[in-house]
Chain A
Amino acid sequence: AQSVSQHNHHVILSEAASLELGCNYSYGGTVNLFWYVQYPGQHLQLLLKYFSGDPLVKGIKGFEAEFIKSKFSFNLRKPSVQWSDTAEYFCAVNAPYSSASKIIFGSGTRLSIRP
């Protein structure tokens, strides 16, 4: 079964700093990878997703993620964060060709941006 690890539980940055949130997954077959964001008081929203093709995926609000198959990683990046990026970020994976194709989520990384 697939699983997801997010090693940073809480990240604190100043505005304009660069961001990289780590995500590693475990599954030997074909995967789809996702980053979801949950702003305070709001529901989970899809930030970006990787299915196939270019391993560098661009999402909304200037976020991007890079799929490195050899490292089983899908790290989220943003060159310059804003105060409005304060939120909880969840990495997620599913195995679309397996019998259990639901999305599995990591435990999340809380991002706090100091104005």
Chain B
Amino acid sequence: DTGVSQDPRHKITKRGQNVTFRCDPISEHNRLYWYRQTLGQGPEFLTYFQNEAQLEKSRLLSDRFSAERPKGSFSTLEIQRTEQGDSAMYLCASSEDQYSGYTFGSGTRLTVV
């Protein structure tokens, strides 16, 4: 499979727990993006990596959220002390450069109960 892979597909967690999601981008793509999508809304930008460097982080992102891309390949997104408002679809995308459209993964649906 040469697409963007995300794991897990679904995650249900209790409020206050920590969760971590993984994204494996297309191998030739050096840019990796995390977005969040809630029902009836478009994807909202969270953060962006070029290789292993995190170049941009949304101001809307609280410090409970952290992302890494340690070797410039896969990336993880961690949410600490989850809140019900964190319930959403978390999308990962990758691209070759800033001129290309993104290839999206299927997303991880997080439900905080």
Cβ contacts under 8 Å, A103 to chain B: 33, 45, 101-102
Cβ contacts under 8 Å, A51 to chain B: 99
Would you call A43 and B106 a contact (CB within 8 A)? yes
Answer yes or no: B74 CB below 8 A from chain A CBs.
no
Cβ contacts under 8 Å, A102 to chain B: 33, 45, 48, 56
Segment 63-113 of B: residues with Cβ below 8 Å from A: 91, 93, 98-99, 101-107
Answer yes or no: A24 CB below 8 A from chain B CBs.
no
Chain B, Cβ-Cβ closest to A34 = B101
Number of B positions contacting A (CB below 8 A): 21
Would you call A43 and B45 a contact (CB within 8 A)? no
Number of A positions contacting B (CB below 8 A): 26
CA distance A32 to B101 in the complex (A): 9
Cβ contacts under 8 Å, A49 to chain B: 101
Cβ contacts under 8 Å, A60 to chain B: none
Q: Which of B41, B93, B99, B105 contacts A108 (CB 8 A)?
A: B41
Cβ contacts under 8 Å, A45 to chain B: 104
Answer yes or no: B43 CB below 8 A from chain A CBs.
yes
A residues near B, CB below 8 A? 4, 6, 9, 32, 34, 36, 42-46, 49, 51, 90, 92, 94, 96, 100-108
B residues near A, CB below 8 A? 33, 35, 40-45, 48, 56, 91, 93, 98-99, 101-107
A-B contact pairs, 7 of them (CB 8 A): A4-B42, A6-B42, A96-B98, A96-B99, A102-B33, A102-B48, A104-B45
Known contacts A36-B104, A105-B42; 19 additional CB pairs below 8 A are: A6-B42, A9-B40, A43-B105, A43-B107, A46-B102, A96-B98, A100-B56, A101-B98, A103-B45, A103-B101, A104-B45, A105-B35, A105-B43, A105-B44, A107-B41, A107-B42, A108-B40, A108-B41, A108-B42
